[in-house]
Structure 1
Amino acid sequence: MAGTTFLLQTNALLRKNAIYQKRHSCVNVATVLLPLVFVLLLTGLQSWVDDLAHSPENQCGCMCTLCCTKVGGACRNATSSSQCSKEEECRAFDEDVCGLQYSTTLQAIFCEQPHPSSWPPVVQIPVESKRAMPWRPNAVMMYAGNGNGTLAREIVKQMLPPFVPRLPSGKFLQMGKEQDAFRGESFVDSGVFVGSSSRTSYTHFIEPAFLEPEIYGLTQDCTLFPKAGTSDAVFIANDVGMELPLPIGPGGHIDLECVKSAFSLSTVESINKRLFCSFEKAHCNLSEKAGSFHGGLQSLPETVQEYSNAWDFKGSDLHGLDVDIWYPGQIEGGSGNGGPFIESRVNLAQNLAADSWLKWALGGGLSTRLLAVEEMPKPATTVNLQFSSIIAELLFCWVIQLLMPLMLGQLVYEKEHRLRMMMKMHGLGDAAYWVVNYMYYLVLYMLYIAVFIGVGSLAGLAICSLTDYGVQFVFYFLFGNVQILFAFLLSSLFDNSQTAMAFGLLWVFMTGLIADSLLKLQIQRELWYVNLIELIPSFGAYRGLYEMAEYSFRAANRHSTGLGWNDLKDPLNGMSFVLLSFLMEWPILLLVAWQLERCHSAGAGSWYHYLWSLCSWTKGRKSGKQQMSWEVKEGDGDELAGAPLLGPSDVRVDIDASSQDVDEERARVAGIPLKGDSEHSIVVRSLRKVFPGIQGGPEKVAVNNLDLAIRRGEVFGLLGPNGSGKTTFLNMLSGFLQPTEGTALVAGLGLDTDMDQLHRIMGVCPQHNVLWDTVTGREHLLFYGRLKGLAGAELQDAADSALKSVRLFNYGFGDMMVREYSGGMKRRLSVAISLIGSPKIVYLDEPSTGLDPASRRSLWEVVKKAKVGKSTILTTHSMEEAEVLCDRLGIIVDGQLMVIGHPKELAARYGGYLVFTLVTNADDVGAAKALVQGFDPTAQLTYELAGTLTFELSTKSVNPSDVFRLVEKARDQIQVLDWGLANATLEDVFLKIARSAGARTDHLH
């Protein structure tokens, strides 16, 4: 049965929502296509950036076909062998003939290099002018043996032998004179390593194996160079002449020289000291450039790295090599005046240690000499600045969350306008509501994301097209579910849809900005608490997008694929944690959102939650303060009467609130079994509702210990001035408010335990119309009819009958959208909704308000016909309506039941007087009062204005014939302009009782 009910509710809500969304199809289509705006914007920006990046300077150079002089402008045709000189500039290029030989220094890095350079191993030391004063230490390479100097000395003897195999000439990059534009790049020409600047203050030792004697007549005999002292066949390049090609010195030799490169055995401590003191600015031992003293402490000036290599063969022996190597990490290029830094290469220092140990240990016949390090071949490249990937983390984080404020606003809108509660009071369960709306939002979100990814892929956005689509689907799907539940959770905390949407938008944009400005830095620093921050869904989404953007950016430049499943194994990749956190947060957010809605009920009044104790403390507060705000906004003051307000002419008359009929009603309720009986459908026991005071004011007792029993088939009318508690009473019976005290049994079901079942047999016409503007009257009735279990032809007949009964069937009124209805038509539709499906219990809160007399009487006939088999509670301000429709009446003032009974019985019991009206001129008013008082000393003046006097005359002492004689007698003493005599009406009785209780009744005249 429960499953059947759930399916019926789901079917009804699905059909209604389908109609509603169809009427808003333009909005839905625009929402789904919203990503197009962002994709087009991002694509346009990417195209603009690509145009800027794909300039000639960012591509491999092409052959010039037209050279023009800079002065004069004379032009000539250029060929591959006659490119532009320094005095000329190129005006046209052949884009089909491009290569390294036509490129500038900046363009060269984009050219194809199928045979890249071979880099020889080198040792770098500072030139003499850069060595520390006053000693200018020689370029001595130090070594230590950790106490075993003999072993270290034997190994060092094997270093830098007089001859090693040469590198074949085919491995060198040969440069021509036309390539002097490459000045400043690191190339090898004939085995000579060139520094990072055209002129450098550093010297590079080069193994003779990399110098070919045949080129430029170079020999390996250092004795040819007069500057050499002791030598070990080690060559260095001078501090001058570093341009390409290398200059040729006297005798056709390359301008090279030898340098003393003896080895020095020392201790580790001595090595450290010597290396430190080799700094030009070290100022060891208070050298002539020592820093000044301040307070006894020498201020150490800035130092630069100006030392060569050193070795410590600490644990080496015949069984293995164990060595520490000192080397400069960076050296400064140029002339030492802020030139670019280049990384030091230590492969020679390592190779010397390994090769020397091997020869010492195995006898010199073996060698591990490193000939060169060759770069990998390089294809032609272009600048591929993936601007979309650079800003994707922030922009995409905003885009994928934009539906959250819309969902939040719609959920709160249905609560704010009581649509949610109206559906609930007619039998729609929470589970069906959640499932239908959840699935709708999920489908809408996935369509939104599908458009986003699809269009982004077609537009060539790297983060969409290069990231594995399986990873994208799982990421967006999990985040979408978490985001929907987050919207459900937040909807319980807001009562105003505009405020909710504003908060949602602020949340989306602020979390995105915070993530991009702060979280991104923490991710890059790999801080431990980043994962804790990412447990917040918005920040988790940013981390996932960050990973996709990073991988896609690299993939675009490498012409490879982006983030895939295998990449999740990377320990620095945060996507796996994000997916896992979303998967864990999904059920947790579902339970929290469900529970929070029960505790912070959106007007549900009765809460049935699994952890009652966790939110029981909010029940009293929330059932007061929140609903008070409801009444302020929607109740027109009906439930907010504070202390009794008396008009200037109000007269308080003591009347026993515990009148006989009220006492009898209380006794009748006490005699009904707690589980109810077959006679009474509604049994109210000591029902009480107290609202907290506004801004610290006194509490407001809206309903005060009300006892009432209503029989099956009875229409009970509840009368009372504004603020008397009528609507509050109905709201408690319908489940909108939680009673402060007391309980009620409705159709054998308790308010506190069976409200879900009670809603299925209940029909409610609220004080204000609760309707969807874009749904027709017939569609309203079909929806609520389905909630009552109607289907097929029975449902259609019930809808037609309901429309006919409230005069909305003819002229196609039933098929008009509600926004086209007048106020009276909306009111009649609300009554029809409350009666469809033959509910057992019907609550009508001022159903005829705003109706014309004809419509009002037609509506009365509908209620009279529908009363059979139902128990109906009707609130009204119309005494005529109460007399026509109600079997019994109760008058309530300040939440307390004053009288109860049949309308005629009340009129007879509390209306035992005649209403005598006399109209005279102003001069005779005093005499008229005296005549009436003399006629009946018990007469009470109830109205006086401009000569019109109204008196209440007790029927116990006066009969109508006596009044006629009084008028005839008065004509002889005063001028009688008009007069009248009538029995007391039900309205007179109501006004008298209300005034006696101290209520304000001027609005009832």
Structure 2
Amino acid sequence: MGNKSPESPSTGSIDSEIKNQSSRSYFTLQVKLLMWKQYLLFSRNLKSTLFQIFTPVCICIFLVLLQQLATYSMSTMTDKHPPDLSLSKIPKCYGSGCITLGIAYTSPKTTKMSEHILSYIAENNDLKINDDIKVIANNYDDMIDYLAKYTNRTQTCLLLCTGPFKPPPNPIYNDTIVCDMDIPEARLFLYSILINSTITPLMYFSGFNSPQPVDYASLAVKRSIDEAIISFYSNGKYNNTIKTNVQSFPLPTNRWMSGYDIVTAAGAFYFFIPPMVTFVVLLIEIVREKEYKLRHGLSMMGMGHGPYWFSWFLTGIIFILIVSNSLIISGLACVFDLFLHAPYPILIMLFGFFSISMMCLAFLMSTMLTTTKSAYTTSYAIILAGLVLQFLLSNIDMIYLIYGDDVATWIKITRVFLALYPPFNFAKAFGDIALKSSSHYSTKSKRWVSGDDYTWSDLTRTIHATVQGSNVTVPSTFITFMILIGNSIMLGGIAWYLDHVLSSNRGTPDKWYFFLTPRYWGCKRSNRKVSSNISLQDLTTNFRIQDPSIISSSPLMLTEPGVSINNLGKIFKNTKLCGASSQIHAVNNFSLSIEKRELLAILGHNGAGKSTLISLLTGLAKPSYGSASIFGLDIAEDMKEIRKILGVCPQHDILWNELTPREHLILFGRMKNLPYDRVCKEADEKLCQVKLDYVKDKLVGTFSGGMKRRLSLAISGVGDPKIIILDEPTTGMDPINRRNAWKLIQEMKKDRVMILTTHSMEEADVLSDRVCVIVDGMLKCLGTPLYLKNNYGDGFRITLISKTPNDLCQLISRTFPSSRLIDSSGGSLVISLPLDRKDEIHSFFLTMEGYQNHNLRAHIEDWGLSNTTLEEVFMRVTGKKEQSH
């Protein structure tokens, strides 16, 4: 533990220790720790985890329901014994202005036959003439014009031949038709029925496999007309109704639909969903750690980037295996032919290779996205666009056509780009396996045929087929699997590159050509040390007071620094699309040395550069110029080794809401390669010191802001770090817990270098060995609190209470010439006396004790004496203090 560490060794021994530690393998340990952390996160986000695992089950159950629905729908299309229906009376046409039976004559005159037919139909069908039955025309042309003008007004139209007429042009008979034809031994009456096809049920309403629909109203009209004709010619002797039955043609089984398999037809669409759920979960979780600086927190405590990504890769592989097996088991339970006839290893490769490629795409997207909100939006957009494309790619014939022997050049180019799209390769491989192992539609047989066992030889066989008359040569399924592996390598490689060069990922981006440098591949020079000899000129360059005698009298000249900063600077460039670019010097030519066993407090207003300086020292930002070393290790070259001896309490809490305080301390402690027993003991002690032992097993997500700050403070000291950096550690704490935190900090600073940034002058005064003030990125003053008060303060501050403040003020000016009035209000005077005027200070005390200047003492009712505060020094140095004269 920090407060029980032995005497700090020399710089040489520190270097030796670091070299010995770097020779050990941290990789396996860090991967185990990160996997343990992710196990806790996913086990406590149980809903999300179960959703991933049971999505395949829901998909398979849904496919079973769709298969049952499809089977039922096909059964309704088959009717080998259609019903025998008896025709009844003519149905009435209901509706405003609707005519049940429209009558038209071929000539203006009527005949006895036509009059008999109308009266018979009306009497035997309960219809009214001039209401349900209405004469609409006296010739053929007028009838056609009427029907065209009044559409959907006439249910059935009857054309009675009452005089000769010439029919419209037709391929059968074009001569004049004479109604009164004398045929021996035959009686003939001509009529025609016109059917309103818009009222007749449409074909797609009556079923896919049904014949043309029957107009039962027209058949009833024909039966009634025939009865009327028989009645007319029999002189009323025949009054029996003609019994008429109607039966549709039998509906046979449709070859195109019989044996339809939903898995073959749409499996590539639905089985696309479970891997995409894993893709979304991984993308969101990685970006969440990035947005809330959780990855940066792990990096600052010594985590390597390799173990970080490898742990997420293992996490993804575990979920892929679980989800893929869940899908296979569900498919077997639902008795899908694809899963019954294809070998298990091939199915695992099918779903596993596709899922791995989508996992690598998640890694790639996570390097470019910075917020969880953008991750949600992007992932859902990818899924929606993918579902649309996958719906098209579910048709394996369409995929095979792309591999045609005589396709256009643009199709060949499209084929190359589609090969870079993992869902396309998945749909192609799925279709290859489904065409052999599952029921599928045979273009050769024009029907659905049963599947057969899919063998290992089928996996490597080139596919030759004829699709819609075109010969195609399709790569084998094995080659498609290799392409999926290539997709994973390509996406993973791009993710690896972007993770190095984008600043939002590692904090300090590498050059675009980083992989070409020998240093990246481990060929680097030995750890170089930055010189700790900072000249007096460097120290006085940016000081408000530049008197060397004043500086040399302060404890600034260090012989063995733990931290050495030499002309360090950070420039942020504000690049504009139009107009000149600007630069912001967040840290400007900063030089400083901090010795061991010392706590340095850094003061500065908001935006002064404190957090930027911390980011430079912890490796979250790369310096624009200058150098710095920590225990002889260069921050530009040896940050990996520095982080092994570094403890950080960042400005914003870097904590997982799903973990407990004890788990946090164990995670970060083990990250320092400390034994488990020691870490557990140290975790309990740290939690007791920050008064969190009573909630050590509670989730951090339930903590208040102050409790989280105390936990962050405890984390910074775990693992026995040689240097601890605290960025505003007591923000949000109540006074009692702030005092406890101060006590812990004072215990932690033994045998260590500590850097503390704060806005609390009291905190800096109590804790610091030295204080430095930063203004606009530049070091303005440096020294012990007392040294700064003496050199930048107003000397002794004296408060006087008087009923005659004006008279008192004049007397003080005459008695103590070097005094200066600071404030006068409400009968109270505040004056200052310089520390170097010892004679006046001595005289003042004699006056207050009543030994001299009795007239002056008579004007004073009460008085008080204090030294200059650190806050006044800060205000003066930063230029915020109004000068009074």
TM-score (norm 2): 0.65
2:480 maps to which residue? Answer: 578
2:691 maps to which residue? Answer: 807
Unaligned runs of 5+ in 2: 1-21, 90-170, 172-210, 212-252, 404-410, 443-447, 465-472, 519-541
1:494 pairs with 2:396: no
**Mapping of residues 237-386 of structure 1, within 5 Å:** 383-386=258-261
Any idea what SS the aligned residue of 1:909 has? Answer: helix
Q: Specify whether residues 824 and 382 from structure 1 end up closer, same or farther in structure 2 by C-alpha distance, changes over 3 A only.
A: closer
Q: What CA deviation, in whole Å up to 9, does each residue of 1:519-547 have, x standing for no partner?
A: 97575344322133221224333433444
CA distance in 1, matches of 2:561, 2:266: 69
1:544 maps to which residue? Answer: 429
1:35 maps to which residue? Answer: 56
1:590 maps to which residue? Answer: 492
Q: What CA deviation, in whole Å up to 9, does each residue of 1:275-295 have, x standing for no partner?
A: xxxxxxxxxxxxxxxxxxxxx
TM-score (norm 1): 0.58
2:78 maps to which residue? Answer: 58
Specify which of 398, 401, 407 is matched with residue 524 of structure 1. Answer: 401
2:86 maps to which residue? Answer: 70
Any idea what SS the aligned residue of 1:732 has? Answer: helix
Unaligned runs of 5+ in 1: 74-129, 131-196, 198-377, 617-653, 673-678
Specify which of 830, 837, 853 is matched with residue 712 of structure 2. Answer: 830
1:504 pairs with 2:379: yes
1:161 maps to which residue? Answer: none
Deviation at 1:462, TM superposition (A): 4.8
Any idea what SS the aligned residue of 1:687 has? Answer: strand
Is the contact made by 2:645 and 2:723 (CA closer than 8 Å) also made in structure 1?
yes
Q: Specify whether residues 559 and 977 from structure 1 end up closer, same or farther in structure 2 by C-alpha distance, changes over 3 A only.
A: farther
1:889 maps to which residue? Answer: 771
Is the contact made by 2:267 and 2:394 (CA closer than 8 Å) also made in structure 1?
no
1:776 maps to which residue? Answer: 660
Q: Specify whether residues 45 and 828 from structure 1 end up closer, same or farther in structure 2 by C-alpha distance, changes over 3 A only.
A: same
Q: What CA deviation, in whole Å up to 9, does each residue of 1:181-211 have, x standing for no partner?
A: xxxxxxxxxxxxxxxx9xxxxxxxxxxxxxx
1:483 pairs with 2:369: no
Is the contact made by 2:772 and 2:783 (CA closer than 8 Å) also made in structure 1?
yes
Give the residue type in structure 2 aligned to 1:406. V
Deviation at 1:612, TM superposition (A): 1.8
Any idea what SS the aligned residue of 1:401 has? Answer: helix
Specify which of 581, 584, 587 is matched with residue 700 of structure 1. Answer: 584
Deviation at 1:386, TM superposition (A): 2.4
CA distance in 1, matches of 2:346, 2:545: 73
Deviation at 1:823, TM superposition (A): 2.5
Any idea what SS the aligned residue of 1:602 has? Answer: helix
Deviation at 1:837, TM superposition (A): 1.3
Specify which of 25, 33, 43 is matched with residue 22 of structure 1. Answer: 43
1:859 pairs with 2:859: no
Give the residue type in structure 1 aligned to 2:265. I
1:739 pairs with 2:623: yes
Is the contact made by 1:661 and 1:901 (CA closer than 8 Å) also made in structure 2?
no
Q: Specify whether residues 598 and 940 from structure 1 end up closer, same or farther in structure 2 by C-alpha distance, changes over 3 A only.
A: farther
Is the contact made by 1:864 and 1:885 (CA closer than 8 Å) also made in structure 2?
yes
Q: Specify whether residues 479 and 714 from structure 1 end up closer, same or farther in structure 2 by C-alpha distance, changes over 3 A only.
A: same
Q: Specify whether residues 729 and 944 from structure 1 end up closer, same or farther in structure 2 by C-alpha distance, changes over 3 A only.
A: farther
Q: Specify whether residues 941 and 543 from structure 1 end up closer, same or farther in structure 2 by C-alpha distance, changes over 3 A only.
A: farther
Say which structure, 1 or 2, has more relative contact order (CA 8 Å, 6+ apart). 2
Specify which of 248, 270, 277 is matched with residue 395 of structure 1. Answer: 270
Is the contact made by 2:597 and 2:752 (CA closer than 8 Å) also made in structure 1?
yes
Any idea what SS the aligned residue of 2:715 has? Answer: helix
Q: What CA deviation, in whole Å up to 9, does each residue of 1:807-865 have, x standing for no partner?
A: 222xx322222123333222221111111111111111122222233322222222222
**Mapping of residues 101-180 of structure 1, within 5 Å:** none
Any idea what SS the aligned residue of 1:475 has? Answer: helix
Any idea what SS the aligned residue of 2:368 has? Answer: coil
2:875 maps to which residue? Answer: 991
Any idea what SS the aligned residue of 1:391 has? Answer: helix
CA distance in 1, matches of 2:619, 2:772: 21
How many percent of aligned residue pairs carry the same amino acid? 27
Q: Specify whether residues 12 and 731 from structure 1 end up closer, same or farther in structure 2 by C-alpha distance, changes over 3 A only.
A: same
Give the residue type in structure 1 aligned to 2:797. V
Q: What CA deviation, in whole Å up to 9, does each residue of 1:385-434 have, x standing for no partner?
A: 22343333333334432221221111010011111111111111111111
CA distance in 2, matches of 1:991, 1:69: 104
1:612 maps to which residue? Answer: 514
Q: What CA deviation, in whole Å up to 9, does each residue of 1:961-1005 have, x standing for no partner?
A: 5386799867988xx88754322122322222122xx5999xxxx
Specify which of 317, 333, 343 is matched with residue 442 of structure 1. Answer: 317
CA distance in 1, matches of 2:701, 2:402: 58
1:848 pairs with 2:730: yes
Q: Specify whether residues 912 and 50 from structure 1 end up closer, same or farther in structure 2 by C-alpha distance, changes over 3 A only.
A: same
Q: Specify whether residues 971 and 667 from structure 1 end up closer, same or farther in structure 2 by C-alpha distance, changes over 3 A only.
A: closer
Any idea what SS the aligned residue of 2:565 has? Answer: strand
CA distance in 2, matches of 1:967, 1:787: 70
2:462 maps to which residue? Answer: 569
2:348 maps to which residue? Answer: 473
Greater alpha carbon shift after TM alignment, 383-392 vs 551-560: 551-560
Deviation at 1:694, TM superposition (A): 8.0
Any idea what SS the aligned residue of 2:626 has? Answer: strand
Is the contact made by 1:725 and 1:894 (CA closer than 8 Å) also made in structure 2?
yes
Is the contact made by 2:670 and 2:676 (CA closer than 8 Å) also made in structure 1?
no
CA distance in 1, matches of 2:582, 2:550: 28
1:709 pairs with 2:709: no
Greater alpha carbon shift after TM alignment, 815-824 vs 660-669: 660-669
1:599 maps to which residue? Answer: 501
Specify which of 673, 688, 698 is matched with residue 816 of structure 1. Answer: 698
Q: Specify whether residues 816 and 515 from structure 1 end up closer, same or farther in structure 2 by C-alpha distance, changes over 3 A only.
A: closer
Any idea what SS the aligned residue of 1:760 has? Answer: helix
Is the contact made by 2:52 and 2:274 (CA closer than 8 Å) also made in structure 1?
no
**Aligned length in residues:** 643
Q: Specify whether residues 982 and 804 from structure 1 end up closer, same or farther in structure 2 by C-alpha distance, changes over 3 A only.
A: same
Is the contact made by 2:568 and 2:625 (CA closer than 8 Å) also made in structure 1?
yes
Deviation at 1:461, TM superposition (A): 4.1
1:222 maps to which residue? Answer: none
Q: Specify whether residues 604 and 743 from structure 1 end up closer, same or farther in structure 2 by C-alpha distance, changes over 3 A only.
A: farther
Q: Specify whether residues 512 and 69 from structure 1 end up closer, same or farther in structure 2 by C-alpha distance, changes over 3 A only.
A: closer
Please report the RMSD computed on the Cα atoms of aligned residues, expressed in angstroms.
3.9
1:914 pairs with 2:799: no
Deviation at 1:772, TM superposition (A): 1.2
Q: Specify whether residues 431 and 928 from structure 1 end up closer, same or farther in structure 2 by C-alpha distance, changes over 3 A only.
A: same
CA distance in 2, matches of 1:796, 1:430: 25
1:880 pairs with 2:762: yes
Is the contact made by 1:943 and 1:951 (CA closer than 8 Å) also made in structure 2?
yes
Q: Specify whether residues 563 and 798 from structure 1 end up closer, same or farther in structure 2 by C-alpha distance, changes over 3 A only.
A: same
Greater alpha carbon shift after TM alignment, 855-864 vs 547-556: 547-556
CA distance in 1, matches of 2:585, 2:617: 17
Deviation at 1:944, TM superposition (A): 6.3
Q: What CA deviation, in whole Å up to 9, does each residue of 1:789-813 have, x standing for no partner?
A: 122322222222222222222xx32
Give the residue type in structure 1 aligned to 2:332. S
2:440 maps to which residue? Answer: 554
Deviation at 1:45, TM superposition (A): 2.0
Deviation at 1:883, TM superposition (A): 2.7
CA distance in 2, matches of 1:519, 1:942: 85
Is the contact made by 1:19 and 1:775 (CA closer than 8 Å) also made in structure 2?
yes
1:954 pairs with 2:839: no
CA distance in 1, matches of 2:736, 2:342: 69
Is the contact made by 2:562 and 2:595 (CA closer than 8 Å) also made in structure 1?
yes
Deviation at 1:561, TM superposition (A): 2.5
CA distance in 1, matches of 2:416, 2:439: 23
Is the contact made by 2:265 and 2:394 (CA closer than 8 Å) also made in structure 1?
no
CA distance in 1, matches of 2:377, 2:256: 47
Is the contact made by 1:719 and 1:890 (CA closer than 8 Å) also made in structure 2?
yes
CA distance in 2, matches of 1:665, 1:35: 75
Greater alpha carbon shift after TM alignment, 546-555 vs 925-934: 925-934
